[in-house]
Chains A and B, each alone.
Chain A
Amino acid sequence: MYLDANIPEGPLEEKWINYRSKMNLVAPNNKRRINIIVVGSGLAGASAAATLGELGYNVKCFTFHDSARRAHSIAAQGGINAAKNYQNDGDSVYRLFYDTIKGGDYRSREANVYRLAEVSTEIIDQCVAQGVPFAREYGGLLANRSFGGVQVSRTFYARGQTGQQLLLGAYQALARQTSLGTVQMYPRHEMLDLVVIDGKARGIIARNLLTGALERHAAHCVVMATGGYGNVYYLSTNAMGCNVTAAWRAVKRGALMANPCYVQIHPTCIPVSGDYQSKLTLMSESLRNDGRVWVPKKKEDVEAIRNGQLKPTQLSEEDRDYFLERRYPAFGNLVPRDVASRASKAMCDEGHGVNISGLAVYLDFADAIKRYGQSEAGSRGISSPDEDTIMRLGEGVIEKRYGNLFEMYEKITGEDPYKTPMKIYPAIHYTMGGLWVDYNLETNIPGLFALGECNFSDHGANRLGASALMQGLADGYFIIPYTIGQFLSGEIRTPAIDPDLSEFKEAERDTRTRLERLMNVNGSQSVESFHRRLGLTMWDFCGMSRSAEGLTNAKEVVRSLRDEFWNDVYVPGKSDQFNPELEKAARVADFMELGEMMIEDAKHREESCGGHFREEYQTGEGEALRNDDDFAYVAAWQWLDGKDSILHKEALHFDNVELKTRSYK
């Protein structure tokens, strides 16, 4: 299959502007007759549905949540990037573009990334106008902070609740369109199949989660904004409900999945505390602005700390290894996530981990508290302040910046991070891979679009912090409203699609059969237990570090686990009623297939890049070793039931940046 990314001609800086001004439009009177289904109401889905509604299309928006406001985007903490250069520190659209390409380890498309950087500035304006209470300086202007992998300060934030505030902005825009009647909301509805007619996406099968009834919904096109698949690992920072089902159903209908093995492991999460653990909690990357990451140098200190004879605060400076600052002096604690995660893992593998399981490093704020305390004392005119005053003032500054994160940490661990360093460890956080889309955000199935985390488009092999919110909103507010016209302008004569067409009935029947099959296994093991086992296998063999041998083995394990699942899973209740266990079962069934494809992708990519680290391909110093000659392409996979997936390649061309070995030293 030839994959045409449909990248417009012309110089990088002019592609989007020129393309946008020459695009096909749909006249207002025609828009009213065109129906669009948006699946998902997170940042990407809500912003898209609201904007498409504003434009005059008839929009139906689906979410499995009880309200659009509960989408997983709500949990994003740290911030959103934009090339505003308000700090006058040398930022620009080009620099944001360059940082993103480099951060993604040269595995993303130049044209898409440039456009993302370009529209980033409009996002901030839009959100401010919607009433998003971004943090402000004393003079009343917007404040910024820094995130990993960059040397400018371009991240906008609303305390540690940026995702919440941005989502509420989009949710309110959506609520406004709902009240105006342009958007019809379908909460507690889960998409369980995609309907393709004559090669075009024309609708979905959705399950009403309250009644269990299957519904057929038809439209001229379908936009999916259904989030990432990090929960294939069971334990991740994602919300419990995050899943791949919508995207996977599209894959089963012929959509391609691009770079599924690119997953992001976030360095700063609260470590696992026991085998009952249901999810992992992120401590925002913004903490690395002020927190220093370290482990004890000496093994005897590690021992003493683990068995409680020594406190980390008692360890002298010489006995601490600030390993990120040591290994990466230029970026220090703010190296990109993949680099920080691997470095932490390496320290733990060498036996320096600071909790009982040996899988934790420190994130320490003592220096920052002191530094801020001193400067705060200075600005309040307190001369020669005592230690307590400094600490108190410094803690105040830290509280203002990260208060809710510190509180969250304390609630979970029972330890006070103002007084003792946090313990952190890497965890699965984000999926760069996703549905393959072209420059229009259209998948290889005409009329099927994918936005936000569920597509693969902008982050290459590693995403920089604060860029997912940016991408979700760029896709939804500023890109899809234009690019969808490229498809819909050809559909103005297409009458409303009939949901009684045979394709709809077949898809509904397939879905019913699948659900009944799950119900009828009537085995002895819970869905949860299968999910945990799948997750462990994926984490051990397709997680932070991968090898050909491990992956080969894992593929067999996942296949047999899948067989076992279909022979021995037990789903209580009935399919025609509210049944959360059945919802989970259908999702886990899809994860089982996705897992295999991820393993396949990880195995075929014989290089290390970004979040994908193959043990066989590393430098003498343990850094990722890319292979641009053989692997500078997007790997787009086609699923075939019962067979190996087929690989299609989209070559990546770098005309504006030079391919270099990423260095943060």
Chain B
Amino acid sequence: MHMKLTLKIWRQEDKDSKGKFESYEVKINEHMSFLEMLDVLNQELIELKKDPVAFEHDCREGICGACGLVINGRPHGPLQGTTTCQLHMRHFKDGQTVWIEPYRAKAFPVIKDLVVDRSSFDRIVQAGGFISVGTGQAPDGNTIPIESDVVEKSMDAAACIGCGSCVAACPNGAAMLFTAAKVSHLGLLPQGKIEHHGRVATMVRQMDKEGFGNCSNIYACEAECPKEISVDTIAYLNRSYFGSTFMSDLSP
């Protein structure tokens, strides 16, 4: 089915310019993905020798975390558990107006149009989001058996794609879900236990330094996370951060 949409897209020349919404009409087909719709628009703009809309994307299958637009006010759009690149136009209605904006957060400055700088996430990981093991130092992979439930929980948190929608969703612009997911992924595994407390402290410190806001338990992050990472990870981080009373408690 063919459909016609009105797009209101945030255009901003660079970090320091003031941006504004521009209006575009597109004729598309319901089987297209959201990004393919933007491709179509960009082709038209290029044909008119106009500046195409800059947006970030790569894998287009929901795993690299590069895409991430705020669509009608929601990071990654209306569908639960779905990245922008996996969103298809059959979920929109013919004639609809669609508002498309970049993530807005102090720690994610706009680079151009819909592209933002998320390098602060890398720095949070560099602050301690790893297990200190050099190449070649590892014992046999089966030396430490791990309960499959524990691995599953760790994997639930490890599934984070680092897209930043949690920050965009949060009224405070906090990066708590991102940080907590990494802390949980590693901290739940026996291999990651040893550095767990130090890791929590250094990652949280870096998070604050980057200008992310404070977490006030609003939990919009969980609702908008395309990988459905649970806010239980935040509780786990907090327990680890505020004391060791619950240190032995495995379940996040």
Contact = CB atoms under 8 A, between A and B. Distances in A.
Contacts of B88: 411-412, 414
A628 interface: no
A630 interface: no
Given A130-B191, A136-B146, A278-B39, A158 B155 contact: yes
A50 B135 contact: yes
A123 B218 CA distance: 41
Nearest to A524: B47
A25 to B, nearest CB: 15
Q: Which of A125, A411, A572 has the most CB of B within 10 A?
A: A411
A519 interface: no
B131 A172 contact: yes
By size class, the interface of chain B is: 35 or more
A159 B33 CA distance: 25
21 contacts: A51-B134, A66-B118, A67-B162, A72-B64, A74-B65, A75-B61, A84-B141, A86-B142, A122-B136, A126-B136, A129-B137, A130-B133, A134-B141, A142-B141, A239-B64, A278-B35, A278-B60, A408-B86, A481-B135, A524-B47, A581-B52
A124 interface: yes
A127 B131 CA distance: 11
Interface in B149-192: 151, 154-155, 158-159, 161-162, 185-186, 189, 191-192
B127 to A, nearest CB: 7
B52 A572 contact: yes
Interface string A100-129: 000000000000000000000010111111
A577 B62 CA distance: 28
B25 interface: no
A142 B142 contact: yes
Given A175-B122, A276-B40, A69 B46 contact: no
Q: Which of B54, B90, B121, B151 has the most CB of A within 10 A?
A: B151
A165 B156 CA distance: 11
Contacts, number: 214
B49 interface: yes
A274 B31 CA distance: 8
B235 to A, nearest CB: 20
A54 B112 contact: no
Nearest to A129: B138
A660 B33 CA distance: 46
Contacts of B140: 125
Nearest to A400: B152
B18 interface: no
A187 interface: yes
Contacts of A241: 58
Contacts of B225: none
A178 B39 CA distance: 36
A70 B146 contact: no
Interchain residue pairs A-B with the least CB separation, the first 5: A140-B145, A129-B138, A172-B130, A125-B138, A128-B141
